[in-house]
Amino acid sequence: MKSLVQATIAIIVTCALLFFAAHQLEAGGTQGSKDTITVYNWGEYIDPDLIAQFTEETGIKVIYETFDSNEAMMTKVQQGGSAYDIAVPSEYMVEMMKEEDLLIPLDHSKIPNMKNIDPYFLDLAFDPGNKYTIPYFWGTVGIVFNPTMVEEHLTFESWEDLWDPTLEGKVFLVDGAREVMGMGLNSLGESLNAKDDVLLRQATDRLISLSPNIKAIIGDEITPLMINNEATVALTWSGQAADMMWENEDLDFAVPEEGSNLWFDSFVIPKTAANIDGAHAFINFMLDADVSAQNNDYVGYSTPNAAAMELMDPEVIEDERFYPSEELREKLEVYENLGLEWLGKYNEYFLEFKMSLR
C-alpha cells in the first residue's frame, strides 16, 4: 500500500513538473525575448547592413522573414503562430488589418524620429493620425520601356500607347489583379477603386483587346529581362523600374497622365508582437535621417523621409519619374479596401483576362 501511495505521489509530481515546463515553453514562445525582434517585410526591401547596425547599437537581434504579397502576410499574422513584431503592409491592407483588429496602436513618444517624415505623408485617409502606421516607402505604378526598342512616337505618357499595334507580343504585365485591373480602369478614365460591375466589365473587355500585345504576365522575372534587353515594355512599380534603370541606362519610366496608383508601405506592429518596445526602437532607428538615406540608396523606392532627402543626391529627388510633382500626384489614387466581395470580383475579372491570353 505504501509503495502504491509513493508511486501515485511520484506520478502527480511528475505531471505537475511537465505541466509547469510546458507552460513555461508556451509563455516563452508567445512573449518572446526582449533582446530579439522579428521583422516581416517584402523581399529585398531593406539594406542588410542596417539590420546589423541596429543590433550593434541596441543589442537587439533581428530575425528577418519575407513575404511576397500583402495577402500572404495577413494570413500569417491572422494565424498567430509566429510572433511578428514588425510588418510592412500596403495601405489597403492596413485598412483590412484594422478591421480584423490585428494591429497595436503606436506610442509616438517612443518614435521621436517621426519628426523627419514629410507631413504630406502623414495623417492619410487609411490611418488618420497615424494611430497604427509609420510611412516606410511610397511609389507609383507605371510603364518601364526601352526607347531604343520601340517606335519614336511611343512615350507612354498615355495608357493608350500600350495598345499600339507595333507592340504586338512585346508587353509584360505584373501579376497583380489590382495593378492590371486598375490600369484597365484608368485607361477608360475611371477610378481604379471602382465598385461597378459595368465598369469592371468594360475594363476587362478593354484588357482583352490588349491581348495580342501581351508577351506574358509575370513577377520579379521582368527585372533581368528588361535589364538584358530581352523585354521591351512592362507594367511595373516605380522602385522596380528604378532598379532596372540603374543596371540599364537605356530604360525609361513613365506614369500615364490619365492617372495611376499611388501606394504606401508602412511599418505596423501586429498583435502577434512579443517585443513591443523593441519594435518601436526599430521603427525609430529606421526613421533616422542617415539610416533612411542609406536604406533608400539600397532599395531604390521613394522615401517619405524629408530629413533623409536632404542627404540624398539631388538628381534622385528631383527626378519627377520617381518623385512626381504635386500636379501629377493629384491624378494618382491610393488603393482602397474594396472589401472581400469586390476584391473577389476584381480577381475573377483579372483571371478572365489572363485566360484570354491562352
d(CA 109, CA 350): 44
DSSP state of 155: -
Q: Where are the beta strands (DSSP E) in the chain?
A: 36-42, 61-67, 86-87, 134-145, 171-174, 214-218, 233-237, 252-254, 262-267
- In Å, the largest CA–CA distance within the chain is 100
Establish whether 168 is an annotated binding residue: no
Phi, psi at 212, each rounded to 5°: -60, -25
The CA-based dihedral angle spanning residues 118, 335, 299, 53, taken in that order and rounded to the nearest 10 degrees: 60
Single-letter amino acid code for the residue at 65:
E
> Which amino acid, 356?
S
Q: How many residues comprise the chain?
A: 358
State the Cα angle at 292 between 287 and 294, rounded to 5°.
Answer: 155
d(CA 15, CA 282): 41
Calpha distance 243→259 (Å, rounded):
23
Give the chain's radius of gyration (CA, Å). Answer: 24
- What is the spatial distance between Cα 87 and Cα 247, in angstroms, rounded to a whole number? 29
User: 64 a known binding residue?
Assistant: no
Question: Are the C-beta atoms of residues 88 and 286 closer than 8 Å to each other?
Answer: no
Q: Given the C-alpha cell 478591421, which residue does it identify?
A: 99
Q: Are strands 61-67 and 36-42 parallel, antiparallel or unpaired?
A: parallel
Q: Which DSSP symbol is given to 118?
A: -
Q: Which grid cell is 221?
A: 522575372
Q: Which residues are annotated as a binding site for spermidine?
A: 44, 92
Q: Which residues are annotated as a binding site?
A: 44, 92
